[in-house]
Structure 1
Amino acid sequence: MQIFKKRTQFNASSDAALVLASLGGDRDSFGEIVARYQSLLCSLAYSAVGDLKHSEDIAQETFIEAWRKLDTLRDPEKLKAWLCGILRFKVSHYHRKEANQPVRGAGELEECAAHEQHHEKVEDAVIEAQQQALLWQTLEKLPQNYREPLILFYREHRSVEHVATELELSEATVKQRLSRGRKILQQAMVTFVEDALEKSKPGAAFTSAVLLAIEGVSPPAKAAALGTGALKVGSFFTLATLLTLLASLSGVIGSFFSVRAGLAQVRTQRERHATIKLVSLFFVYAAVFVAGMLALRYFALARVEYAAYLAMASQLLVIAFIAVYLALLVQVLVGMPRMRAQQRIFFPEAFDNDLDRLDSPQREYKTRLRILGAPLVHFKLGMAEVGDKPAYGWIAGGDRAYGLLFAWGGLAVAPVSVGIVSVGLVGLGAVGLGIFAVGTVGIGVIGFGASIIGYKAYASLSALGWQSAVSNGFSIAREAAIGPLAFAEQVNNERAAEIANIATLNQTYLWVLAAIVVFVIVPAVWHSNQVRKRMGTPPDLTKNNMR
Structure 2
Amino acid sequence: MLNVSQPLKISDDVSLVMLSLGNDRAAFCEIVTRYQNLLCSIAYAALGDIKQSEDLAQEVFIEAWQKLDTLKEPVKLKAWLCGILRFKISHHVRKAKRQPTLNAEDIAHQELSDSAFPSEEINAINVQERTLLWETLSSVDLAYREPLILFYRQQHSVERVAEELDLSIDAAKQRLSRGRKQLKETMLSFVETTLEKSAPGTAFTVAVVSVLGDISKPVMAASVTTSAAKIASFFKFSVFVSLLAALSGLISSGFGLRASLYQSRTENERRLTIKVFSLFIGFTVVWILSMFGLKHLALTSPGAETLYTFLAHTIVILLIISYICLTKAALEQTRALRAHERIFQPEAFTREIDQPDAKNKEYKSKLTLLGYPLIHFQFGTPESGDAPAVAWIAGGAKAYGLIFAWGMLAVAPISVGVFSFGIFTVGAVGFGLLSLGAVAIGVVAFGSSAIGFKAYSSLSSLGWESAFSAGFATAKEAAVGAIASAKEVNNDLAYQISDLTVFEQTYQWLLLVLAVLVIVPAYLHFVNVKKRMKV
TM-score (norm 2): 0.58
Residue number in structure 2 paired with 1:416: 414
Q: Which residue of 2 aligns with 1:535?
A: 533
Cα contact 1:405–1:415 (8 A) shared by 2: yes
TM-aligned CA distance change 1:531 to 1:310, over 3 Å: same
* 1:297-446 equivalent positions in 2, closer than 5 A: 297-446=295-444
- SS of match in other structure, 2:310: helix
**Residue number among 227, 236, 246 corresponding to 2:231 in the alignment:** 227
Is residue 408–residue 417 contact of structure 1 (8 Å, CA) maintained in 2? Answer: yes
Q: What is the alpha-carbon distance in structure 2 between the residues aligned to residue 399 and residue 479 of structure 1?
A: 40
Change (3 A) 1:341 1:28: closer
Aligned to 1:281: 279
Name the structure 1 match of 2:289: 291
1:451 corresponds in structure 2 to 449
The whole-number CA distance in structure 2 between the counterparts of 1:226 and 1:284 is 35
**Secondary structure of 1:387's aligned partner:** coil
Q: Distance in 2 between matches of 1:335 and 1:245?
A: 33
Cα offset, 1:506, TM superposition:
1.3
Deviation at 1:258, TM superposition (A): 2.1
Match for residue 144 of structure 2?
none
SS at the partner of 1:484? strand
Does the 8 Å contact 1:394/1:403 carry over to 2? yes
Q: CA deviation at 1:459?
A: 0.2
Cα 1:336–1:440 shift into 2, 3 Å: same
Deviations for 1:255-300, whole angstroms, at most 9, x for unmatched residues?
A: 4322211100211111111111111111111111100100000100
Residue identity (%): 46
The Cα shift of 1:304 comes to: 2.0
In structure 2, give the amino acid aligned to 1:360.
A
Instruction: Note closer, same or farther for the CA distance 1:511–1:33 as it changes in structure 2 (3 Å cut).
Output: closer
- Deviation digits for residues 353-408 of structure 1 (CA, Å, limit 9, x no counterpart): 11100111111011111011111110000000011000110000011000000000
CA separation in 2, counterparts of 1:432 and 1:439?
6
What's the secondary structure of 1:394's corresponding residue? strand
Does the Cα contact within 8 Å between 1:226 and 1:232 map onto a contact in 2? no
- What code does the residue aligned with 2:334 have? M
Seen in structure 2, the aligned counterparts of structure 1 residues 523 and 231 have a Cα distance that, compared at 3 Å, is: farther
Mapped to 2, the partners of 1:306 and 1:267 lie a distance apart of 52
1:510 aligns with 2:508: yes
Q: Secondary structure at the match of 1:305?
A: coil
User: Quick one: distance in 2 between partners of 1:27 and 1:395?
Assistant: 45
1:53-85, CA deviations, whole angstroms, 9 ceiling, x for partnerless residues? xxxxxxx9xx99xx9xx9xxxxxxxxxxxxxxx
> What is the rounded CA distance, in whole Å, between the counterparts of 2:19 and 2:420 in structure 1?
44
TM-score (norm 1): 0.57
The verdict on how the C-alpha distance between 1:27 and 1:451 changes in structure 2, with shifts beyond 3 A counting, is closer
RMSD: 3.4
- Over residues 227-267 of structure 1, what are the superposed CA-to-partner deviations in whole Å (9 max), with x where a residue is unaligned? 24556448x5xxxx1x5533366555444322211100211
How many angstroms apart in 1 are the aligned matches of 2:260 and 2:283?
20
Counterpart of 2:307, as a letter, is: Y
Is 1:483 the counterpart of 2:503? The answer is: no
Task: Please state whether the residue corresponding to 1:512 is helix, strand or coil.
Answer: helix
1:473 and 1:316 mapped to 2: Cα distance? 14
Does the aligned pair in 1 maintain the 2:22–2:228 contact within 8 Å?
A: no
Paired amino acid for 2:350: D
Q: Structure 1 residue 497 and structure 2 residue 506: aligned? A: no
For residues 27 and 504 of structure 1, do their structure 2 counterparts lie closer, same or farther at Cα, with a shift above 3 Å needed? closer
Distance 1:32 1:286, change over 3 A: closer
Cα 1:27–1:349 shift into 2, 3 Å: closer
| Residues 375 and 32 of structure 1, relative CA distance in 2, 3 Å threshold | closer
> 1:228–1:207: structure 2 CA closer, same or farther, 3 Å change rule?
closer
Kindly state the Cα deviation for residue 24 of structure 1 after the two structures are TM-superposed.
5.6
Give the match's secondary structure for 1:385: coil
- Map residues 262-277 of structure 1 onto 2, 5 A cutoff: 262-277=260-275
| AA of the residue aligned to 1:285 | F
2:524 to 523, 526, 529: 526
| Aligned counterpart, 1:187 | none
Unaligned runs of 5+ in 1: 1-21, 39-59, 71-201, 211-222, 538-547
**Distance (Å, rounded) in 2 between the aligned partners of 1:320 and 1:394:** 33
Change (3 A) 1:536 1:32: closer
Structure 1 residues 488 and 269: CA distance shift in structure 2, 3 A: same
* Matched residues, number: 338
| 2:474 counterpart of 1:470 | no
CA contact (8 A) 1:229 1:503 kept: no
Change in Cα spacing, 1:244 to 1:370, as seen in structure 2 (3 Å) is farther
- Partner of 1:412, secondary structure, is strand
* Distance change (3 Å), C-alpha of 1:389 and 1:508: same
Tell me if structure 1 keeps the 8 A contact 2:260–2:273: yes
Q: Which residue of 2 aligns with 1:540?
A: none
Structure 1 pair 331–256 and aligned structure 2 pair: CA distance change class (3 A): farther
Kept after mapping to 2: 8 A contact 1:396/1:407: yes
The one-letter code of the counterpart of 2:291 is M
Where in structure 2 are the equivalents of 1:182-201 lying within 5 Å?
Answer: none
Separation in structure 2 between the aligned mates of residue 457 and residue 24 of structure 1, nearest angstrom: 20
Change (3 A) 1:456 1:314: same
Paired residues of 1:249 and 1:430 also in contact (CA < 8 A)? no
Once superposed, which parts of structure 1, at least 4 consecutive aligned residues long, lie more than 6 Å away? 31-34, 207-210, 223-226
Report the residue type matching 1:257 in the other structure. Answer: F
Once residues 273 and 327 of structure 1 are traced to their aligned partners in structure 2, the CA distance between those partners, rounded to angstroms, is 19
**Residue 522 of structure 1: how far off its partner (Å):** 0.8
Aligned residue identity for 1:323: I
**Whose Rg is larger?**
1
**Structure 1 Cα separation of the partners of residues 291 and 229 of structure 2:** 14
> 3-state SS of the aligned residue for 2:380?
coil
Q: Aligned-pair distance for 1:434?
A: 0.6
Q: Secondary structure at the match of 1:338?
A: helix
